[in-house]
Amino acid sequence: MLLYDYHPAPSPRRVRIFLAEKTLSVPIRAVDLAKREQLADDYRAKNPRCTVPMLELDDGSCLWDTLAICEYIESLQPSPPLFGRSALDHARVVMWYQRIELDGFLATADVFRNANPAFKDRALFGPLPTAQIPALIERSRPRVRQFYLDMDARLAASEYVAGDFFSLADIQLLCVVDFAMGWGRMPLPAECAALAAWHAKVGARPSASA
């Protein structure tokens, strides 16, 4: 297997943390998004979405969706279980993963990609040039704040995102919160004590530095 990665980006970080939790080592090839190497013909032939991460298998098959990559790795090495131990656990992990993607990651991406001059013609993921829409910045900031509040409420009631076990949903939330606080410059609200405590705990795991 070969993992295509851009280290500063939040999405491939999810896979790196997932692999670290599994104590798996996979060769990595850097794709420099700043130089737009993801748009090169050879990369586009393998991944028409022109995104990272991408996992290339030994038979040449390619997976370019983060959730799909993690589910594939989980099927190869189920221990430690990062989708839970039951079918219901698995469903809840995927449910929370998708909610964090839709409510948190995409809203943060709207803020970051529409505000950063480096993305003036790359406001959306994918191969097509897309103009920035400055109005989306202010529309999306309240969405991120509400996302923080929703996650705080969840973590006030649950030790981890999907239940009483650490999972891919926690990896997802860690990467999205770090993305929002860092690249998005949107700190946690002072009232989000449960989310802040969870963030400190999960961020201290050795895998978080992967």
Q: How confident is the model at residue 104 (pLDDT cuts 50, 70, 90)?
A: very high
Q: What is the domain range of residue 35?
A: 2-76
- Residue 67 pLDDT > 90, yes or no? yes
Over the chain, what HEC string results? Answer: CEEEECCCCHHHHHHHHHHHHCCCCCCEEECCHHHCHHHCHHHHHHCCCCCCCEEECCCCCEECCHHHHHHHHHHHCCCCCCCCCCHHHHHHHHHHHHHHHHHHHHHHHHHHHHHCHHHCCECCCCCCCECCCCHHHHHHHHHHHHHHHHHHHHHHHCCCCCCCCCCHHHHHHHHHHHHHHCCCCCCCCCCCHHHHHHHHHHHCCHHHHC
Q: What CATH number corresponds to the domain at position 184? A: 1.20.1050.10
Tens of pLDDT, residues 7-34: 999 999 999 999 999 999 999 999 999 9
What is the percentage of the chain residues whose pLDDT exceeds 90?
97
Can you tell me the mean pLDDT for 32-46? 95
Considering the domain boundaries, does residue 82 fall inside one? no
Q: Based on the domain organization, do 126 and 173 belong to the same domain?
A: yes
**Tens-digit pLDDT profile for residues 108-154:** 999 999 999 989 999 998 899 999 999 999 999 999 999 999 999 99
Q: What is the pLDDT of residue 100?
A: 98
Please report the pLDDT score of residue 126 as a whole number.
Answer: 87
Domain ends where: 76, 103, 125? Answer: 76
In a domain, 81, yes or no: no
pLDDT of residue 124: 92
What's the confidence (pLDDT) of residue 125?
Answer: 87
pLDDT band at 182 (very low <50, low <70, confident <90, very high): very high
